[in-house]
Chain A
Amino acid sequence: MSVLAMGVVAAAADTGVVIGTGETIVFWVLAPVALAGALGMVLSKNAVHSALWLVLTMLSLGVFYVVQEAPFLGAAQIIVYTGAIMILFLFVLMLVGRESSDSVVETLRGQRVAAIVLGIGFAGLVGAGIARATEELPVVGLTAVQGTVGGPAAGNVEAIAAVLYGRFVLAFEVTGALLIVAAVGALLLTHAEREPGTQRSQKERSRARFLTDRPQTLPGPGVYARANSIAAPGRLPDGSPAPSSFATGVEPVRVDELPRTGSVGAEREGLPHAGGTDAALGTTTPGTTREGGPA
């Protein structure tokens, strides 16, 4: 993205359009930031950190748009992409939990080198293509296209509105229809059809639950605030994992937690929680604490 921005600036400089000092400063400050964000996104091991780096890049792009006299585009970039889509992304990443992060072992041999080479090649191709395509274009300036505030066409917002709802109204409507169909289709695929009236009320479900052996809710994964991964099962009072809390589709794993249940605390002499949680809470007597992890 920054490569493109740089190309645009270079092209503008060639054709003699004057770029203000403020714009230059903003570009040279934010272009490295945007580039660092892009690199950080690729190089981070943690998925949430990757998402954050991407947010940084998107924010920088939003500011670029505003600086290049497209305030509406900048605001839409920040509100829609950074504000809504990336938050949804983060939402999913956080639901999965950070202990169950992806393995970084390469499964395909030479994948990374190939990806780097292809990525650079693709960027070069696109950059060169756009540079060649825009080389001969005459520069007319912003005022000729969208006017200024108080001028004939009243600025960026009105210009976008006129184009979007005039010349490109069909494309706009079709895109809207496509998005709606996609959303409805996703809902339809994940929605379980039920006969109307067959859904039991909360009271009925509550009664049914109290007739079983377990009137309380199932223990959630990672309860007792020791881990926040769905892969971490809930614990029974003796420290063993509760089978009823295993998440479907995820192998239950022991996660790094503090303090270790059942540890006698020899390795943490002098700490307030020496002896582990059980000693701290008084749930077992120190004399009978077993060595090692739970059975």
Chain B
Amino acid sequence: MTVFAAADQPTLEDFGNDVWWIVLIKIVGIFGVLVLMTLFAIVFERKVVARMQQRIGPNRVGPRGYLQSLADGLKLAFKEDIMPALADKPVYFLAPVIATIPAFLAFSVIPLGPTVSIFGERTPLQLVDSPIGVLIVLAASAMGVYGIVLGGWASGSTYPLLGSLRSAAQMISYEIAMGLSIVAVFLYAGSMSTSEIVAAQADGTELSFFGLEFTGPSWYAVLLPVSFVIYVIAVVGETNRAPFDLPEAESELVGGFHTEYSSLKFALFFLAEYINIVTVSALAATLFLGGWRAPWPISIWDGANTGWWPLLWFFAKVVVALFFFVWLRGTLPRLRYDQFMRFGWKVLVPVGLVWILVVATLRAVARESDLDAGQVAVFVGVPIALVLLGGLLLASRMRNRDTRVAAREAAAGGPAPAEPQVLDPQGRDRASGGFPVPPMDLVVPPSPRLRRRESVGAGTVVGTGRRSSSTTPEETDDV
């Protein structure tokens, strides 16, 4: 491992020497950043997806609607906490906690910036690092699966169980693809520690094209494009986001594993999900997009990678990754379960394995013939990757050719869209084609807590939305 002598680049020895109050500041800071990023990500997602759907999105609470998720979060905390009668109580209670804690833990190894000065103490902007840094993120995400799986099982209900089974299978399958995609980065960086991977992406290779000297790309997203693509696809599956949101597919499973959850327990699941998205975005920035180092036009400025500035570049990269998540959700329909599994096992995993083989071969060749690894990657690896990606694209287009041709024919000779049918909202019954109106006889059932103290016998009308055949006369004439 080449140790980069840059002044602000922390190495592994710089960790574990902090004063206790610096550690405390970092812990509280990371906790705050994650909670704030969650609040921001929810509003951001709602606003961006609204723009994509020609809507405005949340615009009522706070300046330009940016406090909407804060209001929602507060509301969620005051909702009634429901414990299903068939729930396995201890596991039901533990599941959201198990989902949330690893989500927070995973972020502790993400490098947010170089060595800075906090109240006179020189310290790296990263809580911990270890020789196995990235594996800690993988371990945390493996633990997070338990929260989802147990939550679904402990609810004692069918939809959550199906959702949790799906998510268990999905997260295990896509974790393999994700791990394989990261291996190539380890091979190139020569380390599994996050800060050293960022350091390894500091300097681009010197290239010369026909006498023109320039610095080649140093980001692993460019040097290892196949890994990057696999990583991006795999983490979308890993975080249960659209188009891979099968564990909580609304149209099939109501809410999936968290159907029976309410109030703060649900809020914890929600928090964990968004923190996981932020974490994988941050990990993508760290492993593939140069970490906290400034992107090219800015990096010409000497001060770009010193002091507190890198925080800005880092979070800009994270927000770009978040935008990509939202973009996917706004664009792609959900996959069918068998398609999804086939894609994971028969496309992502084999491609990942072959790519590792290619990368390892390139590394070995570069070492044997004393070539610079970066040059080999740029001149051999990138073309191979482009050919591979192009081939995949062609193959998928060939496979869908029949469907595309049929769709084009249908579009060319299809029938004109029918006039929209307008229903008379008033006067006609719902059964004979009138506009659907909600039933007018809904009565709020008495609170079960009230009944414990005084016996209320009047809870016979049930708000099911359907008229019982035993309704009283005054209820039947307000149709």
Contact = CB atoms under 8 A, between A and B. Distances in A.
A9 interface: no
Interface in B419-467: 445, 451, 455-457, 459-460, 462, 464, 466-467
A90 B135 CA distance: 23
A78 B470 contact: no
Interface string A61-102: 010000000011001101100111001101100110010000
A107 to B, nearest CB: 27
B165 A71 contact: no
Contact of A71 (B132, B164, B171): B132
Contacts of A75: 132, 135-136, 138-139
B294 to A, nearest CB: 28
A222 B457 CA distance: 32
B150 A272 contact: no
A241 interface: no
B470 A83 contact: no
Contacts of B470: 279, 285-286
Contacts of A270: 451, 455-457, 459
A258 B131 contact: no
B161 interface: yes
A150 interface: yes
Contact of B142 (A78, A95, A98): A78
Nearest to B155: A228
A155 interface: yes
Contacts of A78: 139, 142-143
Interface residues of B, number: 50
B165 A228 contact: no
Given A75-B138, A82-B143, A83-B139, A149 B175 contact: no
A98 B149 contact: no
B153 to A, nearest CB: 5
B375 interface: no
Contacts of A257: 86
A108 interface: no
A281 B146 contact: no
B44 interface: no
A83 B91 contact: no
A282 B469 contact: yes
Contact of B468 (A71, A87, A269, A279): A279
B153 A282 contact: no
Given A87-B146, A149-B13, A274-B460, A72 B165 contact: no
Interface string B102-126: 0000000000000000000000000
A223 interface: yes
A150 B13 contact: yes
A256 to B, nearest CB: 8
Nearest to A94: B153
Interface stretch (A48-56, A134-142, A172-180): A48-56
A154 interface: yes
B12 A150 contact: yes
A67 to B, nearest CB: 12
Interface in B1-44: 1, 11-13
Given A87-B149, A91-B169, A285-B469, A280 B464 contact: yes
Contacts of B168: 87, 90-91, 94
Contacts of B153: 48, 90, 94, 98
A225 interface: yes
Contact of A94 (B146, B164, B459): B164
A160 B88 CA distance: 42
Given A149-B12, A270-B456, A286-B470, A228 B161 contact: yes
Interface in B76-91: 85-86, 88, 91
A273 B459 CA distance: 9
B157 A225 contact: yes
Contacts of A272: 445, 459, 462
19 contacts: A48-B91, A48-B150, A49-B91, A55-B146, A71-B130, A79-B135, A79-B139, A91-B149, A94-B153, A94-B164, A94-B168, A150-B12, A157-B131, A222-B158, A225-B157, A270-B455, A270-B457, A272-B462, A282-B464
Interface of B: 1, 11-13, 85-86, 88, 91, 130-132, 135-136, 138-139, 142-143, 145-146, 149-150, 152-153, 156-159, 161, 164-165, 168-169, 171-172, 175, 192, 445, 451, 455-457, 459-460, 462, 464, 466-470
- Nearest first, the 7 closest Cβ-Cβ pairs linking A and B are A83-B142, A75-B135, A78-B139, A225-B158, A282-B468, A272-B445, A228-B161
Given A75-B136, A226-B158, 11 more contacts: A71-B131, A78-B143, A79-B139, A84-B175, A87-B146, A88-B172, A90-B149, A157-B192, A225-B157, A274-B460, A279-B468
